[in-house]
Amino acid sequence: MKMRFYILILIVLTTTIACNLEKEIDIELPDYQSQLVLECYLEPGQPFGLALTRSAAYFDPLPGADLSALDNILEKGAQVNIIHNGKTYLLQEQNIFNPVTQKFYNYYSSELVPQDTTPSFELKITTRDGKTIEATTRILPVIPIDSIVVEFAETDTLARVLCYLTDPDNQANLYRRMLHNVSLDSVPEQDFLADDRIVDRSVIAFGTGYDYAVGDTVFNTVFHIDRPYFNFLASIFNASTSNGNPFGQPSPIISNLRGTADAIGIFTGLTYDRRRTIIKKK
């Protein structure tokens, strides 16, 4: 009985001390300065599209699914030109959702991005208040997937999926690997970056766990990306990881944009190889 009594006293004291450690703190945040945010991905064979918006404060309400509510963040009245191989493409201001690329644009041209991996593409924007945004990029050649291998566990009915590609040894290459289950508009089960400097062989393999049953549909996508896009994505991933962590340090977004508008974002070519696989047993 005495031992139980002592344990009860210890529990009460511990609870009391823990309660005393709780204290509400009011933090005054500085006024948020909105920035222009730009994303433009040049996909060969797809129309030119560019999203130019304004960033919002962390605690501002989200616009929701109603596109009319996006007016508060869409940047209007900009003149947007993309120059390639001596030709200028003018992107008109209009709200477009491309179901193929699953991307929303507010500047658009129905002309198709040429499949040209040699000359660069130049972006030149003048905003309605006379400020400028500039960037340069090129479209990289596709590095194809060699094969997709489905392997079943010996003692289970589930399979893993292995994606193989040959890494060209005459250049440095960067990759984004994505894996979707069921459909491409689902949340990716894998989404990460890879640098071929950490690979000591010419064949690269991306794999999964034994997670897939007969009849599942898996999409393997391997993007061949440049260094600016690699750094941009890495900073996005870092910012997402530190989001909500009270002890995490703010992660700045690494951009390849220049100009007097002090915009953040990315202007890049986007090339990839994708394979759709339905899980089957031989």
Domain 145-226+273-278 has CATH 2.60.40: yes
Residue 21 has pLDDT above 70, yes or no: no
User: CB of 127 within 8 A of CB of 261?
Assistant: yes
Is pLDDT of 99 > 60? yes
pLDDT of residue 202: 84
Q: Tell me, what DSSP letter sits at residue 33?
A: -
Helix (H) or strand (E) holding 235: helix 227-242
Per-residue pLDDT at 196: 84
pLDDT for the residue 10: 47
CATH architecture for segment(s) 36-61+70-141+252-269:
Sandwich (2.60)
Mean pLDDT rounded to a whole number for the chain: 86
Contact assessment for residue 224 and residue 271, using Cβ atoms and an 8 Å cutoff:
yes
User: Contact 278/255 with Cβ under 8 angstroms?
Assistant: no
* Sheet arrangement for strand 190-195: 190-195, 174-181, 217-225, 271-278
Side-by-side strand order, sheet with 145-152 = 145-152, 159-166, 203-207
The pLDDT of residue 102 is: 84
- Give the residue-averaged pLDDT of 105-126: 94
Helix (H) or strand (E) holding 7: helix 2-20
pLDDT band at 8 (very low <50, low <70, confident <90, very high): very low
The span from the CA of 129 to the CA of 13, in Å, is 64
pLDDT score for 34:
81
Q: Do domains 36-61+70-141+252-269 and 145-226+273-278 have the same CATH topology?
A: yes
Tell the residue number behind the tokens 């900009």, with chain if given. Answer: 78
Give the three-state DSSP class for 106: strand
User: pLDDT at position 186, please?
Assistant: 86
The DSSP symbol for 72 reads: G
What pLDDT score was predicted for residue 13?
45
Query: Tens digit of pLDDT for each residue in 185-197?
Result: 889 999 999 998 8
Residue 65 confidence (pLDDT):
53
CA dist 175 and 162 (Å) reads 16
The structural domains of the chain, with segments of one domain joined by +, span 36-61+70-141+252-269, 145-226+273-278
The model's confidence at residue 55, banded by pLDDT at 50, 70 and 90, is confident
Given a cut of 90, whether residue 56 has pLDDT beyond it is no
User: Could you tell me the two tokens for 192?
Assistant: 């990460």
- The string of DSSP letters for 130-146 reads S-EEEEEE-PPPP--EE
Give pLDDT, residue 251: 74
Contact 42, 137 (CB under 8 A): yes
- Percent of the chain residues topping a pLDDT of 90: 61
Q: Which two tokens stand for residue 200?
A: 């000591």
Reply yes or no on whether the pLDDT at 19 is more than 70.
no
Distance of alpha carbon 138 from alpha carbon 142, whole angstroms = 13
